[in-house]
Every structure is written in structure tokens, then in C-alpha cells.
Structure 1
Amino acid sequence: MAIDDLLDEHEQSERVRGWLRKNGVSIIAGVAIAIGGIAGWQWWQKQQGNELANANVQYQVVLKQLQDKKLDEAAKGVKALEGGKSSLYADLAAMQLAKAQVDAGKNDEALATLRGIQAEPEFKTAIDQRIARLLIAGGKADEAIKQLGSASDSASLEIHGDALMAAGKRDEARGQYEKALKTLDVAAPQRRLLEIKVMDAGGTVTDPAESA
């Protein structure tokens, strides 16, 4: 091997050692951070899994309390779920509590329960509909309409029509029912009831097979 080659190798090795001396600490720190990050991620996943499991257990407890008609205890259970990370179980439990309160004739309490839900997007429409129905039952048709906002799904349109009928606005109600009917699947089980509402509001119903 030539002297020049040895010098080149020696020079290269010195450069490598110098680079390691300069950057070694940061490399080790980077590796440590990466390992710590993996461990942290695994810990976080475990914590999330534990929280979900605990929330599920608490949710089942609430359901049992509702089944046993222990509404006050169930309400406390719902509050406990609201303080956790799993808002999904909190929303579901609150909706079940509100249903039980309605069944028990406690509409005002049910309304308060529903309004207290910090709803996930997938539940907001259903919750707004339930609130609107309770408002109609309580003689607050105008508030029910405001609660529904600009929702254009079949159920919301139908409830909007119910609110208008309750307010004595028969023609406007018929318009909402007809819109709801157009957005409803022909085979939907609730279609027959909606057709009756259209006719009660002074409208006529065409057989979907004839209009096809």
C-alpha cells in the first residue's frame, strides 16, 4: 500500500473521530429521545386503552342504574363520565339518561340533560332533534325551530313540520313534510307516518311507483 494511501486513510479516520467527538453527544441524545419517544407512545396508548376500558365499565354501570330506575344515581354516573377523556361514552350515557327521564315524565330534566351534552359531531343532529321534540311537547314550537337550524335531513324536516303544526302554521308545515318525504327512502318504515302527516296538513301523497 502506498504511503499516500496510508496518509489518506489516516486523515480520513482522524476526520471521522473528530466528527464523532463533535457530534457524538447529539447523536446519543437523539437515540435516547427516539427510544424515549417510542416508550412514551406505548405508555400513552396503554393509558388511552385503560381510560376507554374504565369508561366502558362506568357506562355499563349507568345503563344498569337506568334499567333499575335509579335515575339520580345514573345522573351522577353520567357526570363522572363527563370528567374523563372518553366523550363518546359520556354522550351515549347522557342520551340514555335523557330517554329514561322522558319515560319517567321528567321532560324538563331530560331537556337539561340533553342541553348539557358537549356533543361530538356525529351526535349533534340527533341531540338537536331530541331537544326540539321536547320543546314542542312543552309548547315552545319557535324554540324548537331555532334548535333545528338549517338541518335538511328527513327527520329534522319532519320535526320542523311538527313544530309548525303545533304553532298553527299548517301550510308551512305541509311544505316541510313534503320536503322530508322527498328525502326519505321509499322503503323507509317511517314513510307511512310521514305520508299521514302530509295529508293531515292538507297535502296529497303520490305513490312513488306512479311518479317513477
Structure 2
Amino acid sequence: MEVYSNENEQIDAVKQFFAQNGKALVIGVIIGIGALAGWRYWSSHEDGGSRQASASYQQVSTALDASKPATLDAAAKFARENSNTYGALASLDLAKRYVDANQLDKAAEQLQVGLKDTNDANLQAVMNMRLARIQLQQKKPDEVLKTLDSVKGDGWTAIVADVRGEALLSKGDTHGARDAWSKGIASDASPALKEMLQMKMNNLPG
């Protein structure tokens, strides 16, 4: 099982799969997370429509450039017209560009669009984590906590605990933050992530 060191590498792994398997229909996404996450896809034959969607996704994804609004509009149009995994991935790509441009409202909106385009719990978990981090930047801790409740799977425990602790701390709930980070440390997380959570706990008042 391949293990990836951060969420960006998870997304890169997804894109690489689609690039190398343009003639396959993804029927499962299984994330095995030891440190943070690992992606492995299983597939079967896809029809002509899926092949076209795959090619179109690769085209709009490659062309995305935050300095060129037309490419963002094209990606948004593709996401709206493709209620499938390709549409969800396009929304994920587009949301990143909006974050880079500090357009957090648009990024959050795009992720919410993408979440409706896939029924795969693992891909939804990635998107919900991205959404929670954006909501944290927007200083919306209650929305962060609600979004994190949608992330399922033991492999996400430490990552969810990290963001949950930050959200609770922003609400002034020091005890809640300490409890969240303690659960992350007790999980099967990477040593680096556990060390980071421990440092956050050590810096808490009291």
C-alpha cells in the first residue's frame, strides 16, 4: 500500500490514476491511511461517455490557471455538467485555485458542489477535510465541526482531531481542544503528526 505524506499527494495520486487509466471506470476508492493516507483504485471497463469525460477532465485540469479566468470558468462548467467522479475532481482542482487566490467563499462553494457529484465516502472525506480547513480560515468553527462529523474512517482520526482541536480552541474551548488532540495522539497516526499534536497540547494554557 502506498502511503502519502499529505493531502496534496493524495490528490496527485488520484490524478495520476486517471491519467494512466483513461480506459477504466473507477468503481471503488480505497484509502488506507497509516501515516496520513494512501490511495488505490480498482476499475473495470468504461463506456464511451466516461472516456470522453476523462479526456475532458484532463484537458480542463491541465489548463487551469488562476490568472486566466476563462480556464476557471471552463472548469466550473465541466463540474456543473458532470455529476460524477470527474466532476468532483474538477471541483477539487478549482477549489484549490480559489484558495490560492484567497477566494475562500468560492472555494468552499465549489467543494460543496463536488461533494454532491460523488457517492464515494473516501473521496468525500478528502473534500470534506479541505472544506473544514477553509471554514477554519473563514473563522466559522461551528461549520468546521459539522463538516468534520461527515468524515468517516479510523484512518482519518488524527487529521480530523487536528482540525477539530483548532476549531474548538478558536471558540475558547481549551478543554475540548486538549481532548481532541489527545485522541489524535492516541490514534494510529504518523510520529510527525503525533509530535505536532503534542506540541499544540503543550502550548495550551493551564
If the length of structure 1 is used for normalisation, what is the TM-score?
0.64
Which residue does the alignment assign to 2:186?
A: 182
Moved more, 63-72 or 51-60: 63-72
Which residue does the alignment assign to 1:103?
A: 100
Higher percent of residues as strand: 2
Which residue does the alignment assign to 2:110?
A: 113
Displacement of 1:123 in angstroms is 1.4
Q: How many residues align?
A: 155
Instruction: Output the CA distance in 1 between the equivalents of 2:69 and 2:185.
Output: 37
Which residue does the alignment assign to 1:144?
A: 144
Deviation readout 1:165-199 (Å, 9 max, x if unpaired): 11121121011011011113344x43332222222
Deviation readout 1:113-172 (Å, 9 max, x if unpaired): 011121332211222221111111111111111121264622112111110111121121
Instruction: Output the CA distance in 2 between the equivalents of 1:68 and 1:148.
Output: 28
Q: Map 1:41-190 to 2 at 5 A.
A: 48-67=46-65, 69-84=67-82, 87-117=84-114, 118=116, 119-120=118-119, 121-149=121-149, 151=151, 153-187=157-191, 189-190=192-193
Displacement of 1:201 in angstroms is 2.5
The residue type paired with residue 138 of structure 2 is G
The residue type paired with residue 109 of structure 1 is K
Gaps of 5+ in 1: 1-46, 204-212
User: Which gives a bigger RCO, structure 1 or 2 (Cα 8 Å, sep 6+)?
Assistant: 2
Instruction: Output the CA distance in 1 between the equivalents of 2:73 and 2:197.
Output: 34
The residue type paired with residue 171 of structure 1 is H
| Distance of aligned partners of 1:92 and 1:84 in 2 relative to their CA distance in 1, 3 Å threshold | closer
Deviation readout 1:87-128 (Å, 9 max, x if unpaired): 111111111110111011111110110111213322112222
Give the share of equivalent positions with the same residue, in percent.
Answer: 25
- Determine which structure has more spread, i.e. the larger CA radius of gyration: 1
Deviation readout 1:5-29 (Å, 9 max, x if unpaired): xxxxxxxxxxxxxxxxxxxxxxxxx
Displacement of 1:62 in angstroms is 1.7
Gaps of 5+ in 2: 1-44
Moved more, 132-141 or 149-158: 149-158
Instruction: Output the CA distance in 2 between the equivalents of 1:126 and 1:183.
Output: 19
| Distance of aligned partners of 1:81 and 1:48 in 2 relative to their CA distance in 1, 3 Å threshold | farther
Higher percent of residues as helix: 1
If the length of structure 2 is used for normalisation, what is the TM-score?
0.66
